[in-house]
Amino acid sequence: MHHNVVIAGANALSVDGVDAAVMGFKAADLPYLAMAERRGFGVADADAIWTRGNDIQEAHHLFQKPARWRKKA
């Protein structure tokens, strides 16, 4: 799939948080992102991350979640 979006930044956790939001996931529902945020590696919540360029909503594209997907309990 070609989505023509580039997401880059100085903090890998924040980049992954924005990636997740663009793909239709919430960082809090992804165990590794939530764990990294709790351990102080940065911010994963896309609403708390300053971005430039297109808004996340403009770049948003729903990706099909894996068949075994389930939200973090």
Locate the domains of the chain by residue range. Answer: 12-59
| Cα 45–Cα 48–Cα 52 angle in degrees, nearest 5 | 110
Q: What is the pLDDT of residue 73?
A: 53
Q: What is the pLDDT of residue 13?
A: 96
CA dihedral 20→26→29→33, nearest 10 degrees, is 50
**Average pLDDT, stretch 46-68?**
83
**Average pLDDT, stretch 4-27?**
91
Per-residue pLDDT band at 45 (split at 50, 70, 90): very high
Q: What is the pLDDT of residue 10?
A: 94
Q: What is the pLDDT of residue 1?
A: 62
